[in-house]
Amino acid sequence: MIRRLLVAFIGLALGVGIGLFVGWFAWPASFTGAPPSVLAPGWKNEAIWMAAQAYAYDGDLEAASGRLAPVFGSVDLGPIVRERAEKAIDEGLPPDEIARLARLAAAYGARSPRADPFLNRAP
């Protein structure tokens, strides 16, 4: 009897291990409907670029906030965009792209001596 229980327990433990491996690693639960705040850093970065480009197109700051706030939460979005603009300057990215970021940051009231020279470029 004890031996049967031992065999059943070993089988159960082995099965749980297999189940956890499959459920966590091999075939994890996939879902949609996650909050945008869990986007991968690369996609969050891309959201900033897109929001700045879209703002250059529609000039709608409220829409830009509606696009960035779900990703970054209820924080001041200006410094986030300004930081990306300054990073773009460090990376030597095209001035037009930097200008769009700087312009969106400035619309939020987040300016910096490094980004300001890009403000008067055409959109």
Partner 1 sequence: MRAIFLIGVAAGIGLGLAYAWLIDPVEFTTADPYHVDARYREAWLVMAAEAYLVGDDWDRTKARLDGLGDPNLAHTAAALFERYSVNGPDPQSRALAHLVERLDASAVTAGMLVYLETPITPTPSVTPSPASIPPTRAPTRPAPTPTDTFPTLTPSATPRPEFAVVSSDSVCETSPPQIRVTVQDAEGRGLPGVDVWITWDGGADRFVTGLKPEFGAGFGDFDMQPDVSYRVGAGSQSTLALTGSLSAEPCATDAGARGQLSWDVVLQPLTP
The number of residues that bind partner 1 (CB under 8 A) is 72
Q: Is 33 in the site for partner 1 (CB under 8 A)?
A: yes
Task: Record the tokens describing residue 99, joined without a space.
Answer: 């200008």
Q: Which of residues 46-75 bind partner 1 (CB under 8 A)?
A: 46-47, 49-51, 53-54, 56-62, 64-67, 70
Least gap, CB of 86 to partner 1 (angstroms): 15
Q: Is 8 in the site for partner 1 (CB under 8 A)?
A: yes
Q: How far is the CB of 113 from partner 1 (least distance, A)?
A: 13
Q: Which is nearer to partner 1, 80 or 103 (CB)?
A: 103
Q: Answer positive or negative: Cα dihedral of 21, 26, 29, 32.
A: positive
CA angle 27, 31, 35 (to 5 degrees): 135
Shortest separation between residue 114's beta carbon and partner 1, angstroms: 15
Residue given tokens 């403000």 in the structure block: 119
28 binds partner 1 (CB under 8 A): yes
Q: What is the widest separation between alpha-carbon atoms in the chain?
A: 85
CA atoms within 13 A on the CB side of 29: 6
Whole-number Å distance between alpha carbons of 52 and 34: 24
Among 1, 2, 74, 120, indicate the residue that binds partner 1 (CB under 8 A): 120
